[in-house]
Structure 1
């Protein structure tokens, strides 16, 4: 079988990479030419839908760019490698994107680094199903976005981290993040509408600990920050849940959930946390 165009370009790139510089050329020009050939090979592999080979070729290109001292081009090549690896090779994608981030942070390009870190978080979440590492990456991306005054994007990352903290049953950390996002959202008329959702999630996390006393205290605190919150369905719903938990009344708890769900359909996240709260209520008390 005749070699593909991609394989031919890769062979040329390897040959150029291993060659000795000529009399009238430098090692830098050798790596530049090899890098260009690796890039061409990577693009040809993509046409053949050989994404692992494409990622490998971009990675070799990145190494050549670094040897040239072209750090911006190296960062772009590592990113291209990461995008190719995302087609079924999550570990390699994370490694390539991490190398991109190293170069970007060295150059002080934290907004771009945050974009790549967010990509890593999504890989951990969707492909690797590693929630703990996804949380770390979402929080790191959020910090970098905040540092660059991209607060809306930062809050999106912090909210993702909060949701995952709750899935991991790290409820205090989830509450802290929800409160952080809510506090910032209160500062703008464009985002104030979303505060009741963040506070609802934080209060459900408090009840899942379980800590009805803290939930009641936090509810009062949220109302003091925004007096309109007390009249919302979210606040009234949580108030009923707190009373049911304090009275250890599973029937009232179930009725409150059903009533809320009839008007505002519960999403999977809320359903899971509410089931956790109910499970805690059904536990037999420990005799001392």
Structure 2
């Protein structure tokens, strides 16, 4: 039989204090349950930390969640938000669904308090869990875009753009190409405003161009590429722009061999990442199908 944890003793003590607080004040009607909830919260926190030492992360998360309830009942909303975050960190050790629930509680408290920068951090965490653990690309997309909006509101534009870019990549994986293009263009437009980030614009426009081709809309793709060239006069001469235009020529003529040669040539100079490889394969399949293009 496994030895009893110190955390178990602390949890029992915290539960008794919590039940006492639910019962109200003293025998004579004096005192407040708020102080008892605060004391119970302190003990739940101690129990949670002991469970973390024991590597019993589920119990640790549960105790932090109870602490959060105590903090709320005693009017300590900032401490409640922190307790939910601690719960999430414990639950992330093998319990992703519970971690997401705890983070959502944290976000609720943070947004009510106007702490949108921190709320964005937690929302981004939710997106990462959806992506890495839950394999729910659509929900990950929503979280990254929500986080991006809050980062942008707080003038954390570099972080916002990272989230918009992640969301765009995921939209493309879901074949939601219009949404992907909108996000890539949003990031590119902001990147044009700084000499430090202007160099990255050609990558975002390349991705947007591939999405437009994948939509089987070469007219829009060419129109977009021309527009990008007016926004940055150096773009049309870049390897990325020439690559997209060569792909468009091959797709419009239905020439699979020319398309493949174009991809191989580009890859020999600029190694294709997994995202580009996947979308280029999607485009190639549209040529193989030999359906008329718009």
TM range (shorter): over 0.9
- Counterparts of 1:1-288 in structure 2, within 5 Å, are 1=1, 2-19=3-20, 20=23, 21-22=25-26, 25-285=31-291
SS in 2 for 1:183: helix
**Structure 1: how far apart are the matches of 2:187 and 2:87?**
33
Shift of 1:285: 3.2
Structure 1 window deviating more from structure 2 (267-276 vs 83-92): it is 83-92
Deviations 1:15-52 (A, max 9, x none): 11112444664211111110000000000001111111
- Unpaired runs of 5+ in structure 1? none
Deviations 1:195-245 (A, max 9, x none): 000000000000001111111111111111111111111011111101111
| Aligned residues: CA RMSD | 1.1
SS in 1 for 2:134: coil
The TM-score normalised by the length of structure 2 is 0.95
Moved over 2 A (4+): 20-26
**Structure 1: how far apart are the matches of 2:31 and 2:14?**
17
SS in 1 for 2:258: helix
Shift of 1:7: 0.7
| Maintained 8 Å contact 2:247/2:259 | yes
**Structure 1: how far apart are the matches of 2:280 and 2:243?**
12
| Maintained 8 Å contact 2:254/2:290 | no
**Structure 2: how far apart are the matches of 1:52 and 1:220?**
55
Shift of 1:284: 3.8
- Unpaired runs of 5+ in structure 2? none
